[in-house]
Structure 1
């Protein structure tokens, strides 16, 4: 009944001369607001029971609406409107890939997780299962996306991660979520090439040990571990940092400033670059930074500062984060909800 009356009402409003003077977008937005008012239901003889039917009709917006609004703010606006509330930032390097397993240079080649990598992603999810996650950023590469998705299957809040498709207007329209309840139980996942692993150029696909034998261990070590020397036709860590840190500052930091809890699933070098920014490391310090696959790290963003809260000791360790009071309250709410 609710759906039939809803369609009848839309037809009536669209025939109104004032509505016809609006463009299509204005009509859509006006009607979308109208159907959620109490007067609308009473005037058409609908009962409270019919509200359940209309619940999924009234929401015709994308899950990513709230994401894009925060990202549009400029740096000066962010400084002016800082919130005192803290936000959680989780960084996790993807689980072992099939080429990690074979000891091959991977770089920007799009290789999936190995069986061990799948297990690592699930274990990472267990370790962050009581930490709030409102928004996920991944690289454009499948191993980082698999890690994020598998990790979230373990989260106690049981929200569903949904990859946002903004590559075209049609992709955005076709991937919209129209139900409020579904939207509230979803987590937007934004994939960005800027978070990709550094591009290893002519080393991609080569066996690391054989490459060291061919070019010499010192040369390969310089390509892999120096800050500003790239491999042949590839990226240096410095070049990777330029794109990764710029994206973090422009797209991710505004979300933290708005109070959203963010997880970033990416790669060894893009995450090293971001950690260099967060911890204010020197170029010499960052080249000595090692990140294990599938091990999450927690930062708290509060009053414009990033505070490292710890990470598990190793892949087989249970690990306990130093919870803040806010995170402890969140965990208690999960305990109460799931009892």
Structure 2
């Protein structure tokens, strides 16, 4: 039996402002910090002890991870960061308030971009893309101009070997983003695109997965049932 806990970061400044965030590097709000601390306390109460932790290279996920580990009494757990766990790149939608985006592009189109599997938003402008690509954390990284959920799933695949190796050594915590976690769950549960479309990941609610030695998910549940979203059957 292998234990994997998936956690979306706490509320970010742009979550609170209802903006498309993607690869924009924004911080947690005080509410997000409190959510992360509560998640850590939940993990501690459940006696979940981690061997390894993974997160993205975005501040909101990194800070959530560190708050969670501190609150669960596991600040010593090794952390590994990878851009492959970043949120989906929202292209030209990045930074737009969601109601404003719906007015500009139409609510139905926004829904397709947000919930579709292979739908990509319009690409980010070249100047913004160049500025992002020059960020030192992305040296040598093929920074996208935009992404679909299918693209996110594809960029996670090279990292899966590292995750599988870590799981063989002990329980793993992954703190990431709504869409990178949706993509990972899609892979773990072998979901069809229509099932992925309906999948939601709430902020800062630990999702505990139990996997067999072959990597098949045999149990899946949120620790905070009061804030749980519907899950496909494991």
Gaps of 5+ in 2: 124-145, 229-234
- 1:206-225 alignment, distance < 5 Å: 206-225=96-115
Asked if residue 263 in structure 1 is aligned to residue 181 in structure 2, the reply is: no
User: What are the residue-to-residue correspondences of 1:73-152 with 2, within 5 Å?
Assistant: 86-129=1-44, 130-152=47-69
Q: Distance in 1 between matches of 2:158 and 2:151?
A: 11
Question: What are structure 1's unaligned runs of at least 5 residues?
Answer: 1-85, 161-185, 317-339
Alignment of 1:168-247 (within 5 A): 186-233=76-123, 234-247=146-159
1:314 to 222, 226, 232: 226
Root-mean-square deviation (Å): 1.3
2: CA distance, partners of 1:127 / 1:250? 28
Instruction: Return the alpha-carbon distance in structure 1 between the equivalents of residues 226 and 201 of structure 2.
Output: 11
- Shift of residue 91 of structure 1? 0.2
Alpha-carbon offset, residue 229 of structure 1 = 1.0
Equivalent residues of 1:134, 1:262 under 8 A apart: yes
| Residues 245/127 of structure 1: CA separation in 2 closer, same or farther (3 Å cut) | farther
Secondary structure at 1:213 match in 2? helix
TM-score, structure 1 as length reference: 0.58
Alpha-carbon distance in 2 for matches of 1:208, 1:121:
25
Structure 1 runs of 4+ aligned residues shifted over 2 Å read 305-309
Q: Distance in 1 between matches of 2:149 and 2:20?
A: 15
Point out the structure with max Rg over C-alpha.
1
Distance 1:264 1:313 in 2: 19
Q: How many residues align?
A: 202
Q: Deviations over 1:3-50 (max 9, x none)?
A: xxxxxxxxxxxxxxxxxxxxxxxxxxxxxxxxxxxxxxxxxxxxxxxx
1:222–1:309 Cα change, 3 Å: closer
Contact 1:211 1:220 in 2 (8 A): yes
CA-CA distance at 1:223 after TM superposition: 1.1
Task: For residues 309-331 of structure 1, give each alpha carbon's deviation from its aligned partner in whole angstroms, at most 9, with x where no partner exists.
Answer: 41122349xxxxxxxxxxxxxxx
Task: Give the secondary structure class of the aligned counterpart of 1:263.
Answer: strand
Whole-Å separation in 2 of the counterparts to 1:126 and 1:187: 16
Find the residue that maps to 2:204 and give its secondary structure. Answer: coil
Does the 8 A contact of 1:88 with 1:132 survive in 2?
no
1:272 and 2:162 are equivalent in the alignment: no
Q: What are the Cα deviations for residues 184-226 of structure 1, in whole angstroms up to 9, with x where unaligned?
A: xx21100100000010011101110011011110111111111
> Who is 2:133 aligned against?
none
CA change 1:253–1:225 in 2 (3 A) is same
Cα distance between partner residues in 2 of 1:159 and 1:224: 35
TM-superposed CA distance for 1:302, in Å, is 2.4
SS of 2:99 mapped into structure 1: helix
- Counterpart CA distance in 2 for 1:117 and 1:279 is 28
Name the CA distance, whole Å, in 1 between partners of 2:157 and 2:8: 16
In the alignment, the residues of structure 2 paired with residue 308 and residue 268 of structure 1 have an alpha-carbon distance, to the nearest angstrom, of 20
What TM-score do the two structures reach when normalised by structure 2?
0.83
